[in-house]
Amino acid sequence: MPWTEKSAVEFAEHHIAVWNTRDLDRILALYSADVEFVSPLAEKLVGSNLVRGRGEARTYFETALAANPDLRFEIVDVMRGLDSILIYMRGVGGRLVADVLFVDADGLIAKVVAHYTCLST
């Protein structure tokens, strides 16, 4: 999907707004049935750096939401690539997070590669 500045920002804002509802079904509806997550945080929460499909995503998200009752995201910046967007944001405790999202032709997120700051914020 070729991203314009406007479409990338709108997509990111919608994505974060849905996450901030903490409504698991609404969150899962953002992702394709065969979504893939690559995240160092996933290993701590569900035992693997790779989470595949909505079923595993449900477990991962449910665990993350339960472990972080104050979880809210705040967008710092949005960056667009040819076939992906990067949402640079603040997460738990103000920690900086960058998620690279690959979106399929249906507008659903097919792959996420998550990055977490190594330096204190």
Q: Would residue 80 count as lying in a domain?
A: yes
Stretch 72-86: mean pLDDT: 96
Q: Would residue 121 count as lying in a domain?
A: no
Residue range(s) defining the domain that contains residue 104? 5-116
Q: Where are the beta strands (DSSP E) in 14-108?
A: 31-38, 50-52, 74-80, 85-90, 96-103
Residue 44 predicted with pLDDT over 90:
no
Stretch 50-65: mean pLDDT: 94
Q: Would residue 66 count as lying in a domain?
A: yes
Q: How confident is the model at residue 119 (pLDDT cuts 50, 70, 90)?
A: confident
Residue 76 predicted with pLDDT over 60:
yes
Q: Total structural domains in the chain?
A: 1
C-alpha 40/C-alpha 50 separation (Å) is 9
In the chain, the percentage of residues whose pLDDT exceeds 70 is 98
Q: How confident is the model at residue 121 (pLDDT cuts 50, 70, 90)?
A: low
Residue 1 predicted with pLDDT over 70:
no
Residue 61 predicted with pLDDT over 70:
yes
CATH number for the domain harbouring residue 12: 3.10.450.50
